[in-house]
């Protein structure tokens, strides 16, 4: 069923708007019962009740920063932002086909901190930390402890890249790469950009969406200093996530010449209709962010309640094509193990 946007207007309190991003993260909600209390929800009335919340939390810890919480509608247990972060007892129930490593990334993990799946680019797991724990995360079971990007690991990666001259793009991922302090990020980029083969730096992040103050002067300084062409791929699933504070942060990035793209995940109950997806594309483009990918759901263990089958995904996508000009329609894709690129689903 098609949905329309809520008419209420979230307000980010002044007490968090000017905080340093790491301080905001430090005070994030880490208890599902506190999350319910802040939103005026009775945990016993939610799916699985109080016990289900605690069971899901035990599997994958709750983490919701204040600015993201303020974008949720109080009293609404079906709020699309809440559904992305609310732990459920059903996460503990095994489902056929749902596995801990749906993309088989550990088979493409030749060195600590490095994933090399595609010919011309490599992904660095810059940080295992995130600013928000999304329940559908396909890396919720990833062995981050074995993949820290230490000084020694960075030296190994540089040597690996020298042996693979076809690689011309570095992707910072995680976790969330922007959970790493700017001084450390700047140092890593200075080391990597000494390799003449590298042309582009891509940063995959959700942190500015949930804590917009992460786009600070320190970050903009080192982004401006690198010789690499820089792209930031945001992770925004619903237009409700685009706050006034995020709009200001995106404008600062755009002014510094950072190319802005967005990738979303098609999620049951969150954005599985053409109205929401169409509104998201419109809002993104208003902020000079290009809709890039709409990912079919990855079957990760613990998140089966978000799954949408491919036929339904294609129907939604066809309706989206009919609503928007082509340049506003993200590519519907599925990432599959052992494939040389993402697999288009929309045609």
Binding residues for [4Fe-4S] cluster: 130, 134, 137
Torsion of the alpha carbons at 50, 140, 298 and 95, rounded to the nearest 10: -50
Inter-axis angle of helices 182-192 and 217-225, to 10 degrees?
10
Find out whether 4 and 240 touch, Cβ atoms under 8 Å: no
Please state, in angstroms and rounded to a whole number, the distance separating the CA atoms of residues 87 and 223: 35
Q: Which of 190, 186, 168 is nearest to 177 (CA)?
A: 186
Known binding-site positions? 130, 134, 137
Torsion of the alpha carbons at 254, 320, 242 and 172, rounded to the nearest 10: -60
Written in H, E and C, the secondary structure of 316-331 is: HHHHHHHHCCHHHCCE
């Amino acid at each position: 069923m098609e949905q329309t946007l809520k008419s209420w207007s979230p307000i980010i309190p002044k007490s968090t708007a000017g905080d340093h991003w790491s301080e905001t993260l430090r005070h994030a909600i880490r208890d599902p019962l506190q999350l319910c209390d802040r939103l005026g929800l009775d945990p016993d009335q939610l799916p699985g009740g109080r016990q289900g919340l605690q069971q899901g939390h035990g599997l994958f810890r709750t983490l919701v920063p204040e600015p993201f919480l303020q974008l949720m509608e109080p009293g609404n247990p079906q709020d699309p932002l809440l559904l992305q972060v609310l732990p459920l007892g059903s996460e503990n129930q095994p489902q056929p086909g749902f596995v801990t490593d749906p993309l088989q990334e550990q088979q493409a993990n030749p060195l600590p901190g490095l994933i090399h799946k595609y010919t011309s680019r490599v992904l660095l797991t810059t940080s295992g930390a995130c600013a928000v724990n999304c329940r559908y995360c396909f890396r919720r079971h990833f062995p981050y402890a074995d993949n820290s990007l230490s000084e020694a690991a960075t030296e190994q990666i540089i040597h690996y890249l020298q042996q693979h001259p076809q690689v011309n793009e570095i992707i910072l991922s995680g976790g969330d790469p922007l959970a790493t302090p700017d001084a450390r990020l700047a140092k890593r980029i200075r080391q990597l950009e000494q390799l003449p083969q590298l042309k582009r730096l891509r940063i995959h992040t959700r942190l500015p969406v949930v804590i917009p103050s992460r786009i600070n002067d320190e970050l903009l300084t080192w982004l401006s200093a690198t010789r690499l062409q820089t792209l930031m791929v945001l992770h925004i699933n619903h237009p409700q996530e685009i706050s006034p504070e995020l709009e200001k942060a995106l404008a600062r990035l755009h002014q510094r010449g950072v190319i802005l793209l967005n990738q979303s995940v098609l999620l049951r109950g969150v954005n599985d209709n053409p109205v929401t997806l169409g509104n998201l594309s419109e809002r993104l483009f208003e902020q000079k962010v290009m809709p890039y990918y709409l990912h079919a759901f990855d079957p990760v263990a613990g998140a089966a309640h978000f799954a949408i089958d491919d036929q339904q995904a294609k129907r939604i996508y066809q309706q989206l094509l009919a609503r928007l000009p082509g340049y506003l329609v993200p590519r519907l894709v599925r990432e599959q193990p052992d494939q040389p690129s993402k697999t288009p689903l929309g045609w």
